[in-house]
Amino acid sequence: MDFLPLGLKLAGHTVVVVGGGDTALRKARLLHRAGARLRLVAPQWRAELQALVEREGAGGECHRRAFQDDDLEGARLVVLATDDGALNERVAALCAARGVPVNVVDRPDISSFVFPALIDRDPLFITISSSGVSPVLTRRLRARLEAWLPSRWGRLAGILGRFRAPLARALPDRKAREAFWERQLDGPLVEQVLSGHESEAEAALHAAVAHADQERPPPVDGEVYLVGAGPGDPDLLTFRGLHLLRKADTVLYDRLVAPEILALAREDAELIYVGKARDRHTLPQDNINDLLVHYAREGKKVCRLKGGDPFIFGRGGEELEEVVAAGIPFQVVPGITAASGCAAYAGIPLTHRDHAQSVRFVTGHRKDGSVDLNWAGLVAEQETLVFYMGLVGLREICARLIEHGRAADTPVALVSRGTTDAQEVITGTLDDLADRIEGREIHAPTLIIVGSVVSLHPRYRWFGAADTGGA
């Protein structure tokens, strides 16, 4: 990211605003709400701007003239809201030389900070920024969040803030305090405040804090969350998966989990990579199973984050065996599996009344690496086959299907890095797809879809997906 989002305390500090138009007024209003002492410099300005700067108790200054270098004396921040490009660049350079943060409206390239779109639920606030490149987009996102976030969330934050110090006295241990707040926020407190019953919520919280040191300690064991992260696109993570990811103290993740999803974990969470590729295992499966139990027995909430769905070729059942045997509480959150996600993004319906009345998910290789499958049961014409992990054995898969009766001209699609921005779809038939990809660099993960539904690609492909057709 180009700019680090920060909350800056401005109460009582001088902020210089150069310019007197509508933009200067908008920035000045925001700065005034933050308690800044404004110094306005411009040859002329709107009457509302002067009234804001000189408002009783604000202690601001108005200078009706051109900017002078000494206007920067004592400034904590500078905002340039003028149409004079040369002036903007000169003052921005002065600020850089003096180490004073400066924002030049519509010029993020010479600004040292930008104004994000703000959702104000004082004392709670949320900011959205495009690093200055698309203010219209940030305004739209803010409008959506404004509609979703009730104003009483600020009241809730204020109530919680008032009990921080009393709880710290009752529970000196930070982990114990975090557990206390988790229990409160999972209980009726939030709904009481959001529905306007603040006095009841505050009374209940007061009682809970007063007896916090008398509560039974949490169980020795933690919890395990087996969460499907989906096939690649971070937007396909479920709400439940996100909720548990945000609760986790430790996250064990594999190579198919998008970095954008990992970024949603708590900042203080321990992230442990346990990814596996074909014939290259960072950790043996048994070690991963042991880690889940190990961290849970330390009292931690452990999220095992897996690409796709943990129970569809994700070895989730194996990982839960030791968790169940150890008596550790667990939850399983299904994810959008690669078959449905990749097929949808490639524009290939897995079932269709005119093409396929059933769909079968098949692993492209067995535990020993072979592709010795029940081929005779995989040749029904009206059935779609989806092969996971089948790239290495593609030629043999196609040959065996033909050998056991599937038509050689049956359409086949190979989907590489499905649902991501790098998605590639290569189509062909059982008798020519292996030749089509010979010598090409194909990036894992891949999925192979066999059946006449593939003929609907790219006609059913959604507008944002990549496509290489039969090339």
**Catalytic hit among 27, 71, 254, 306:** 254
356 is in an annotated binding site: no
44 is in an annotated binding site: yes
418 is in an annotated binding site: yes
22 is in an annotated binding site: yes
Is 247 marked active-site?
no
231 is in an annotated binding site: yes
337 is in an annotated binding site: yes
**Catalytic hit among 276, 431, 432, 467:** 276
Q: Estimate to the nearest angstrom the gap between the alpha carbon of 108 and the chain centroid.
A: 25
C-alpha 249/C-alpha 223 separation (Å) is 10
59 is in an annotated binding site: no
23 is in an annotated binding site: yes
312 is in an annotated binding site: yes
Is 254 marked active-site?
yes
- β-pairing, 424-429 vs 411-416, is antiparallel
Q: Which residues are catalytic?
A: 254, 276
Binding residues for S-adenosyl-L-methionine: 231, 307-309, 312, 337-338, 389, 418
Binding residues for NAD(+): 22-23, 43-44
